[in-house]
Amino acid sequence: MQTLESLRAKIETASDMRSVVRTMKSLAAVSIRQYERAVLALADYNRTVELGFQIVLRGTGFPDRFFLSNHRPTATKAGAIVFGSDQGMCGPFNERIATAVHSSCTGNHECWKLLAVGTRVASHLHELKLSSDQSFAVPASVSEITGLVQKMLLSIDRWLEQDDITQLYVFFNRRTTGASNTPTQLPLLPIGPERFKRWSHQTWDSTSLPMYTMDRRRLLSCVVKQYLFVSLYRACAESLSSENASRIAAMQVAEKSIDQRLDELHAAFNQIRQTEITEELLDIVSGFEALSKPQH
């Protein structure tokens, strides 16, 4: 049978857990806002990259698909950047994106190179028989995203030059509404001729055209790398925003369960306390009655 002391200890523990959950919810909400601002801030940068494509491709329009490697591979091989999480308590966040990667790789495992961002998603990929070529830690703040993307670009360069990768994708969870998110797959390379054509024939907004002196192909390669940087940065920020939204949803469920448990503990505590008070009163009444009886 539970005692008042044991119930009091359980109530204190549950209350502490509720405080932790509420703190985690607050931190996740703050993180979502900073990652959303980072995505919005990319709009101007992305516009600058598109202008770079526009001026380099002006009057040309490469009919072939563009690769960063110096030679054209003959076999079709794909590489994928997969964004997940290092921390738990975010629901099926990692399971969903790992399943999406597995669905795309089914039947063609040997032709895929994977780079996982997050130990938990790497673990889920391994469970699905998909081993990541390399793993990185998830950035803890917006300021760390740039360093991560730069490391990934080095890995992509190695894939293109040494492993004959011809297709590059990025997988991440994109936040939709509220705490919900959906696994998203975006193709990064090759850049199709339709996009090059659109950039090369787009009207320049100003009467003054920028000039450049370096080789067009070399300059285009630099612009493509900036395009990859923007794309990976946005995918990382959106994944982090989605992760924290999922964590808020998970914490809300946990908070509701803790509140229900606290209600049960308080009810049990009050019942036992009332029983003890009643027993004490009965003892007092019994004692009083015993003392009030006339002595014979």
Q: Are residues 219 and 145 in the same domain?
A: yes
Tell me how many domains the chain contains: 2
Tens place of pLDDT per residue across the chain (296 aa): 678 888 888 888 888 888 888 887 888 887 888 888 888 888 888 888 888 888 887 766 554 545 544 444 455 688 999 999 988 778 888 999 999 998 888 765 456 889 999 999 999 998 988 888 889 999 988 999 999 999 999 999 888 888 878 889 999 998 887 667 889 999 998 887 777 777 777 777 777 778 888 888 888 888 889 999 999 999 999 999 988 888 888 888 888 888 888 888 888 888 888 887 787 777 777 776 677 766 65
How many CB atoms neighbour CB 220 within 10 A?
Answer: 20
Q: Are residues 257 and 194 in the same domain?
A: no
- pTM here is 0.79
How far apart CA 81 and CA 92 sit, in angstroms, is 19
Closest C-alpha among 82, 48, 233, 83 to residue 147: 233
Joined together, the tokens standing for residue 154 give: 């080095």
Q: What is the residue range of 33's domain?
A: 26-203+213-250
Q: Are residues 94 and 178 in the same domain?
A: yes
Overall residue count recorded for the chain in this entry: 296
Note the Cα 210 to chain centre separation in Å. 38
Residue 296 located in a structural domain: no
Q: Are residues 199 and 269 in the same domain?
A: no
Residue 194 located in a structural domain: yes
Taken in order 222, 224, 228, 234, is the CA torsion positive or negative?
A: positive
Closest C-alpha among 13, 56, 33, 35 to residue 223: 56
Q: Are residues 246 and 259 in the same domain?
A: no
Q: Are residues 13 and 42 in the same domain?
A: no
